[in-house]
A and B are shown apart, each in its own frame.
Chain A
Amino acid sequence: MIGAVADPLPPVEDSVAFAVSLPTPSVAERLARAASSGEVLLQPRCGVGDHVGMLALLRRLEAEGEADVLSVTIDSHTRLGRFDVADAVRRRDPGDLNGYPLVSHGWRRGRELALATGRPLEVRHGSPVAERLFATSVASGITSFEGGGISYNVPYAKDVPLRRSLESWQRVDRTCGELAEQGLVVDRELFGTLTAVLVPPAISLAVSVLEAVLAARAGVRCVSVAYPQSGHALQDVAALRAIPVLAERYVPGVVVHPVLHQFMGQFPRVREHAARVIVEGAVVGRLGGARKIVVKSVDEAHGRPGPAALVEGLRLARQGLAVPADPAGADDAEVATELGHVVREVGELVDDLVGATDLVGAVVDAAADGRLDVPFSPSTSCAGAVLPARDERGGVWIRDFGRLPVSAQTRARHAEALRSSSAVGAVSTLVDRDVHYLLDRFGETRESVSIVSFGPADRGRPLPVTGA
């Protein structure tokens, strides 16, 4: 190990003392204040490889974007525990990292991030096995940590056994319980966004309920449940309003905040279109009672957004929060009906599991045989037999339930929602259409940049030849 990667962590008491002495409130305190005042907090995703660049980015998003909570988004190498690779790339050219390598920079620099602005920080990542990043995060004075044993495995890794990630996150959650005893409440945001593309609401919420129950049993006091905007206002408002209902039913006594993750699928490329999606997302979040919205940028379709695009995203979302009427057209009675259905569907997916004494084992078994399933998962721990589809208004439903243990009523409801949505054509074409829903809605074509480059052949070196 080299450099900061080898720097030993401070004693836990020191980390707690540092975090509680910060002039900024913790994320849990900020969320609680918002809950009593009725505000909706806005948070960008942001992370660059370079430490000085990261400090500047956070300061700019505070000053110009007026973000309420700031993110430290971690690079993919660190997420997968490739700490040596992250460290080497950071030393060579931090611009080649797609996030901030916190373990490589180390907790001393992490504390500089925590002191850089007046806003609390959350670490956002995607680590199926997360103890080391979590320990560095706590030592840095970062008071919110995203993820969970299911939601940070199934979308983010191929061959990390689900039991391993669940046990890792149980240790993270137990540490949160111990820290709470010592006076530091770490907010644990559950990543209901999952694979981010065409995630049916009941599947997102079911995974979050399972992780919330695991977290609560481990001693976690503050949970944020993130739900990914599907693109259909009625469905999204109902799902967000279902979160407190589910919290009361499955984790009574735990503080639970609904969080909206703005549209995570293929974003429109044209600035005005992207801007409209961001404003609409904010409207939906407010109507659904989200306590916090994680905001997209106007450059979302073009790779990792720069600071100006992030600032503009925050401003647009702020405009959306101020829209007075209800332009999303979500009728309260319709929402209530939809909410009832979603809560029932979640129950069909989780009730048999949460009753188990060994919940970790029950989840592992359910995922292995497809009773718990997530569409488009790269993980071999997950059956991946569920196929979602959109209705013509953009709502996300389940076309093929795989082996999910749902009722005939649920099956009929989804089939009915998809009745008018064409299922004719090659599967790849149908899924492609549903994935690129927003592009079609705004009349955009699929790709803007097409580069085809036959390198070595152009330089006189023959292409390697296949086979013998």
Chain B
Amino acid sequence: MRTTPPVRRVVILGVAASDCHVVANRLIAMSLVEAGFDVVNLGACTSVEAFAEAFAARPEAECVLIGSVNGHAYDDLADLPAVRRRGGLACPVVLGGRLGVGRDLAEDYVTRLHDLGVDVVCTDAADLLDVLDRLRPVRDEARAG
């Protein structure tokens, strides 16, 4: 039973800067809306800067979800450290989809994405709701503290 009134959960969603694939993006947006989320969907070809602006406009968002299908995630997110240093995107950044161009480098890809500042890597959209639920208490705790 809830002890506080239900708050509409907000997430920011979009596809990485060089990537125009939107079918998965639309499906994820639809399923998050159906799960009760308020989804700010920035769609395809979204720069780190544009994600930061969207988060600045909706700071109640729980996280930013960035999809990548074309394998360019690492270079598309190259500005993330600089944006974070300026204080932008002070929220978990989740990267989903295909992590790199090759097939057998998943471990290396995950490591270098984390090194860039990606907080969570999640290759299967089916895991997304779990990831969001795992991120939430971290946030609530930090806010309460």
Q: Which residues of A contact B (CB under 8 A)?
A: 76-77, 79-80, 82, 85, 89, 95-98, 126, 155-159, 195, 197, 299, 302-304, 306, 376-378, 426-428, 431-432, 435, 446-447, 449-457, 459, 462-468
Interface residues in B28-85 by Cβ distance below 8 A to A read 30-31, 34, 43-46, 59-63, 70-72, 74-75, 84
Report yes or no: A453 in contact with B63, Cβ–Cβ below 8 A: no
CB proximity of B85 to chain A, nearest CB, Å? 12
Chain A residues contacting B15 (CB-CB under 8 Å) are 378
Contact of B18 among A76, A428, A450 (CB under 8 A): A76
- With both beta carbons as reference points, the residue of chain B lying nearest to A456 in the complex is identified as B119
Report yes or no: A303 in contact with B45, Cβ–Cβ below 8 A: no
Report yes or no: B30 in contact with A427, Cβ–Cβ below 8 A: yes
Also in contact, A98 and B26, with CB within 8 A (given A76-B18, A77-B18): no
Interface SS of A by simple majority: loop
Contact of B23 among A79, A158, A159, A435 (CB under 8 A): A435
CB proximity of A378 to chain B, nearest CB, Å? 3
Contact of B138 among A157, A304, A451, A463 (CB under 8 A): A463
Distance in angstroms between the alpha carbons of A98 and B19 in the assembled complex: 11
Report yes or no: A82 in contact with B123, Cβ–Cβ below 8 A: no
Among B46, B125, B138: residue with most chain A CB under 10 A: B138
CB proximity of B118 to chain A, nearest CB, Å? 7
Distance in angstroms between the alpha carbons of A177 and B101 in the assembled complex: 37
Report yes or no: B71 in contact with A304, Cβ–Cβ below 8 A: yes
Report yes or no: A431 in contact with B27, Cβ–Cβ below 8 A: yes
Report yes or no: B91 in contact with A158, Cβ–Cβ below 8 A: no
Report yes or no: B102 in contact with A465, Cβ–Cβ below 8 A: no
Per CB-CB distance, the 5 closest pairs between chain A and chain B, nearest first, are A455-B114, A378-B44, A428-B30, A465-B142, A450-B124
Contact of A378 among B22, B114, B121, B122 (CB under 8 A): B22
- 7 extra interface residue pairs, beta carbon distance < 8 Å, beyond A85-B18, A426-B31, A455-B114: A303-B103, A304-B102, A306-B103, A378-B45, A449-B124, A454-B119, A465-B142
Contact of A126 among B20, B102, B126 (CB under 8 A): B20
CB proximity of B39 to chain A, nearest CB, Å? 12
Distance in angstroms between the alpha carbons of A227 and B80 in the assembled complex: 39
Report yes or no: B143 in contact with A467, Cβ–Cβ below 8 A: yes
Report yes or no: B22 in contact with A195, Cβ–Cβ below 8 A: yes
24 A-B pairs in the complex with CB atoms less than 8 angstroms apart:
A77-B75, A82-B18, A96-B71, A96-B74, A302-B103, A303-B98, A303-B103, A378-B22, A426-B31, A431-B26, A447-B126, A451-B99, A451-B106, A453-B110, A453-B120, A462-B138, A462-B142, A464-B92, A464-B119, A466-B63, A466-B91, A466-B143, A467-B60, A467-B61
Chain A residues contacting B123 (CB-CB under 8 Å) are 447, 449-452
Among A79, A302, A376, A453: residue with most chain B CB under 10 A: A453
Also in contact, A426 and B18, with CB within 8 A (given A303-B101, A450-B127, A466-B62): no
- With both beta carbons as reference points, the residue of chain B lying nearest to A82 in the complex is identified as B18
CB proximity of B26 to chain A, nearest CB, Å? 6
CB proximity of A274 to chain B, nearest CB, Å? 14
Report yes or no: B20 in contact with A155, Cβ–Cβ below 8 A: yes
Report yes or no: A303 in contact with B20, Cβ–Cβ below 8 A: no
- With both beta carbons as reference points, the residue of chain A lying nearest to B34 in the complex is identified as A426
Report yes or no: B101 in contact with A466, Cβ–Cβ below 8 A: no
Report yes or no: A158 in contact with B31, Cβ–Cβ below 8 A: no
Chain B residues contacting A79 (CB-CB under 8 Å) are 18
Also in contact, A465 and B121, with CB within 8 A (given A378-B22, A428-B31, A451-B110): no
Chain A residues contacting B111 (CB-CB under 8 Å) are 455
Report yes or no: A96 in contact with B100, Cβ–Cβ below 8 A: yes
- With both beta carbons as reference points, the residue of chain A lying nearest to B120 in the complex is identified as A454
With an 8 A cutoff between CB atoms, is B13 at the interface?
no
Distance in angstroms between the alpha carbons of A76 and B46 in the assembled complex: 14
Chain A residues contacting B89 (CB-CB under 8 Å) are 464
